[in-house]
Amino acid sequence: MDSNRLLLACSISLCAIVGLWGVIDPEGLQAVAREIVDQYFVSRGWFVMLSVTIMLLFCLGLTFTRFGDIRLGADDDRPEYSTPTWIAMLFAAGMGVGLLFWAVAEPLTHFAFLKDKISVPEAADSALLATNFNWGIHAWAIYGTTALSIAYFSFRRGTPMLVSAPLKSLFPGEKWAWVVGWFSDFMAIAAIAIGVGGSIAMGVFQVADGVSVLAGTQTAAPWLVGLIFLVMVIAYIPPLMVDLSTGMAKLSNIAMSLAIALVAYTIIMGPTEFLMNSVIGGIGMYIADVIPAGFRTFTFYGDEVGRWFQDWTLTYMVWWIAWGPFVGVFVARISKGRTIREFVLGVLIGPTLFSTIWFGAFGGVGIFETLNGKGELLALTQTNVERMTFALLDRLPFATVTTLATILAAFLFIVTSVVSAAFVLGMFSTGGNQNPSVKIKVIWGGLLGVLGAAMLLSGSMSAVRTLIALGALPFVFITAMLFACLIKALILDNPKET
């Protein structure tokens, strides 16, 4: 059996085992995952924060150096996709459904935790800052570093689009490099599959709750969750059977258009002056604190604050690392022809700015209501986070229309995530083939469905996030390896002119 077939067999087996374990014994899988993740966060949390902050500083630094002019491809190559379509595709692959799910829930959850420890105005500021940090430029630095490493080696050195390619390219013929590279590809597949399985569950939870809102019921019935999951699996199969530019690009543009319309509608129809102040103030605080926050580990704040930091910021950073190989390879695949400077600024600035506006608007409405004595949304943070975005929209005009738009956007974001993930998994499991066969993509789509079902049976978003973190832990070190390989290759391939 050659290495590609061995990789395919081992990765499919691992994903099937985890998926079946989650279906048969979800409580057991969750307990094991929680124990491992807790131990890792206690002992290696500092390494995670240091790594992602260094990646951010490195990416930003590249734009000011001579390396920023290097084109990802031949010197005469030009981008395959327009910049708006490119940003929509990378955003839809990277975190689309999560923004819809946590739009109101995360800022208000942080506010509920902080308001009894500091003053209410400070708690509101800190809640938005924590949310923006968790979803901001550090996440895209993880994606950007992974994508840039793979894109550079693929388009400038002609290697396959694999996580192992940089290492094998720099150390050809070295047995240790082959072993480490094979393991890196294997763990990348595991991280992608488990991470996307979690996103499927998150999206199904939200879509099911949106449908139950339209039906006038308090909670989504189990049969409804199952039905929506089945419809979603059926829906993402056809896009796997067509060209990437035909399926993924069009769906991404539609999903992004809906998201932009929703945030604009919320600002216009909500307390506009308050929300614009929330957005602008949030951007200002984020810019002022984004680098120092990357080195903050809350060592001296006690167990309660330490747990809050682990459950949110550390979990998110590891979550983005879990998605790093998937989003990284996908972004690399669609970025041929762009300069490193254009690539870095597009990947880091565009999505970060949008997510900051997004949380400033939706989180701002939640905080506005809470500060004005309406505590219904705040209470939902303890009972039903899946419903919070819909509960907020219900307070604005045309709630039925906006609820339908949110359900459709969430559905499309999940489909685009699965389509891009199955595409990347197909590439990984076929030796870096940039156009894997329909059969391979459909097989991976089915396995992602099994993992999504396992996540759904865990019964809670907390369990889903823990399982995603478990899949990503080994890749924390692999991401650092890719980072080092990229630095070495840039220096070797582009000696300074004298």
Q: Give the three-state DSSP class for 362.
A: helix
Grade residue 335 by pLDDT with cuts at 50, 70 and 90.
confident
Nearest-angstrom CA–CA distance, 38 and 43: 9
Q: What angle do CA 196, 282, 412 make, to 5 degrees?
A: 30
CA atoms within 13 A on the CB side of 368: 21
Please tell me the class of the 3-490 domain.
mainly alpha
The pTM (predicted TM-score) of the whole model is 0.84
Grade residue 256 by pLDDT with cuts at 50, 70 and 90.
confident
Question: Average pLDDT of 481-489?
Answer: 88
One-letter amino acid of 212: S
Nearest-angstrom CA–CA distance, 22 and 457: 7
One-letter amino acid of 363: G
Nearest-angstrom CA–CA distance, 68 and 351: 20
Closest CA to 49 of 149, 148, 139: 139
Grade residue 7 by pLDDT with cuts at 50, 70 and 90.
confident
| Structure tokens given for 101 | 């799910």
| Structure tokens given for 128 | 């938005």
First to last CA, the chain: 50
| Structure tokens given for 285 | 């605080």
What pLDDT does 431 receive? 74
Q: Which is more confident, 157 or 213?
A: 157
Q: What is the pLDDT of residues 185-224, one digit of tens each?
A: 888 887 777 777 777 877 787 788 888 888 777 777 777 8
Helices (H), 394-474: 399-428, 438-458, 461-472
